Amino acid sequence: MVFRYNDIEVKTMKDKCKKYEGLFIFGDEKEFLSHIADCEDCTAEHEKMKRVSELIQEVAPQLKKKRRMVSQLKLACASFVLIFCVSTLGIINLNTDIRDTLLYGQTLSVEDYGFPVDSYGLIMVN
């Protein structure tokens, strides 16, 4: 439906050509290009699509770079947590004084383990 408003031809949504999408997806290139050459609506649509395509190509490298940086950051965080946990647990496991303090509230001496000791705290051997 076409009507005029202040001498400007106004087209309603119904009048807009809807072949663009169909030809773009299903039509062959020759048919598609010949229709675009004839149809005003599809020419406008084609220009819009070209601009969008250019914009995507312009932005794509930046998006890829950003995604790569995010994954590197995740990897760095995971590595840090892993190294921190492993080294902390390693230190606690290997250092008996820290483990005794955590488990019993004090460091254990040889005497606490039930071994016979002399006045210097050394194990007595017969």
Q: How far is the CB of 16 from Zn ion (least distance, A)?
A: 8
Question: Is residue 42 at the binding interface for Zn ion, with CB under 5 A as the rule?
Answer: yes
Question: Is residue 99 at the binding interface for Zn ion, with CB under 5 A as the rule?
Answer: no
For residues 117 and 111, is the Cβ–Cβ distance under 8 A? yes
Which helix (H) or strand (E) segment holds residue 94: the answer is helix 40-94
Q: How far is the CB of 42 from Zn ion (least distance, A)?
A: 3
Angle at 52 between CA 9 and CA 48, to 5 degrees: 20
Largest CA distance in the chain: 120
- 24, 39, 44, 98: which one binds Zn ion (CB under 5 A): 39
Site string for Zn ion, 1-30 (x = CB under 5 A): ----------------x-x-----------
